[in-house]
Structure 1
């Protein structure tokens, strides 16, 4: 209730001047009321348009423009080289020069006062070394061994060498050498020459060598440029030796007839104490040792590579 208006209504008999003042005051009050109502309507309108309330009763829209550019470059280069450990496919070594020993029969020394040169004899170029040749007769007994040799050029990435000659010789199962030992002066078995083919390969058929006192079981060889130059030791490119693997030698000596003396001889020597192989590195000894397959009943096949630099 408006208490000022009630008082004016009760004083209606106070004259015109008073009435005019009351009317003017009431008019002013009405204008104020209208102003307040107008203000209240505006507030209500604003409230209805979302000026208040929780998020569940409000909606919003937004527009945005965004642009982005990006460039990236990812490049990589790499080079790699690899070499395997195969003896003829990228990894090989020059065989160390070893002594030819006292029984080479290559024209460099003699036996019983006479020069001995099996390389000049007809029939020395052969694969099977087990029998004597050139008018001599006799066959060396022992466990059969097929030896496959590959000759490679260390200077040209282990490429095979064709047309070279390899002279191979070694002792009997009893540890003796033909043409030198007293009971073998009239025998020339376990010696021979082969030429390498287009793959640098040649093959010898022989026997497993015995072990004589003071030496590790081994084979000797010399390399020549060709069969034509293989008639004398003066033309050789390399003289070296092959070491027999211990496990194979032990099995042969213990299990094959005729090798009994080699058992005790082998027990007194090692490849590292040997007076030929002992000063070589472990890598050189491994390179000089053939790889064997087979057994003591049917014999063995062995493979080895020989490296020279030409």
Structure 2
């Protein structure tokens, strides 16, 4: 998926992919998330009727093209919205779909484009908010817990136990550790976790900022095992997680995210270089919580 174009963010000047280009533009537009999800749900309803299965009562599920309903706060209405959003986002209620392959972007930190943190002894960890080894700098921002459930497409989307997930993202200023100017000696917001018997991993981090040219997102790679992840083994899946607009708007109202407010206004899921092809329907996390107590993002990914 590398187009061969280059960008520069901080001190990074190596080969970049336009799908993660803060300055890149993309002219592709589709008919929006609501249209895509509506079509998907109609097909599923038809299959359920033919098989004699019960038809799910989706209710008034009308997500905006930027995934607004995928974020909730506390309360009864929020619980209902979360359930609807979970079904629409292809998360825990609809695991029978493979997450699309996406670019790892220009700042993977996996050795494919400069630095490699995957062979560091401290990279396997659940809390990725701080740097480790030579630095203990803590990334500032709104708390975020990321829960991923990995399923095996070859085995009927059964939970994939014993796999490894490498997760990374930018900080609240839109900068990446290891690459951006002034952060070359930092390695925060990067970590590896092994999936449990239920195929789950949990990362403690901060809400990523929005930078120009991209919808707010989180990168991840899936490996067959922690050993593969930490020894340059083969990557099973490279993709990205999209964060819903409502959660982003709440998070970016917090101090320190001022730049993200403007950048979010200038972007959308349907025009994003990565998520625009289908509105991020299989990559849009279900997010609950608030900026004061922190957010929790959930997504089931088929690999």
Pairwise same-fold verdict (TM > 0.5): yes
Q: Is the 8 A contact 1:168 1:191 kept in 2?
A: yes
Q: Is the 8 A contact 2:95 2:300 kept in 1?
A: no
For 1:90 and 1:243, how far apart are their aligned partners in 2? 16
1:296 corresponds in structure 2 to 291
For 2:92 and 2:289, how far apart are their aligned partners in 1? 23
SS in 2 for 1:241: strand
2:142 corresponds in structure 1 to 143
SS in 1 for 2:182: helix
SS in 1 for 2:167: strand
For 1:164 and 1:191, how far apart are their aligned partners in 2? 17
Q: Is the 8 A contact 1:83 1:91 kept in 2?
A: no
Deviations 1:264-305 (CA, angstroms, capped at 9, x unpaired) = 1111111111111112x24xx122011111111111111111
Deviations 1:38-87 (CA, angstroms, capped at 9, x unpaired) = xxxxxxxxxxxxxxxxxxxxxxxxxxxxxxxxxxxxxxxx9734697685
Q: Is the 8 A contact 1:106 1:232 kept in 2?
A: no
Alignment partner of 1:266 is 2:264: yes
More helix by share: 1
- Segments of 5+ residues of structure 1 without an aligned counterpart are 1-77, 111-115
SS in 2 for 1:250: helix
SS in 1 for 2:222: strand
TM-score normalised to the size of structure 1?
A: 0.68
For 2:270 and 2:243, how far apart are their aligned partners in 1? 13
SS in 1 for 2:281: helix
How does 1:41-190 map onto structure 2 within 5 Å? 80-81=52-53, 87=91, 91-110=95-114, 116-190=115-189
The higher-RCO structure (CA 8 Å, 6+ apart) is 2
Greater Rg by CA? 1
How does 1:154-303 map onto structure 2 within 5 Å? 154-233=153-232, 235-253=234-252, 255-279=253-277, 281-282=278-279, 285-303=280-298
For 1:147 and 1:243, how far apart are their aligned partners in 2? 12
In the TM superposition, residue 231 of structure 1 has moved relative to its aligned partner by 2.1
Deviations 1:127-163 (CA, angstroms, capped at 9, x unpaired) = 0000001222200000000111100112323210100
Could you say if the C-alpha distance between residues 185 and 287 of structure 1 is closer, same or farther in structure 2, counting changes exceeding 3 Å? same
Q: Matched residue pairs, number? A: 222
1:3 corresponds in structure 2 to none
For 1:88 and 1:107, how far apart are their aligned partners in 2? 32
SS in 1 for 2:269: coil
For 1:91 and 1:210, how far apart are their aligned partners in 2? 27
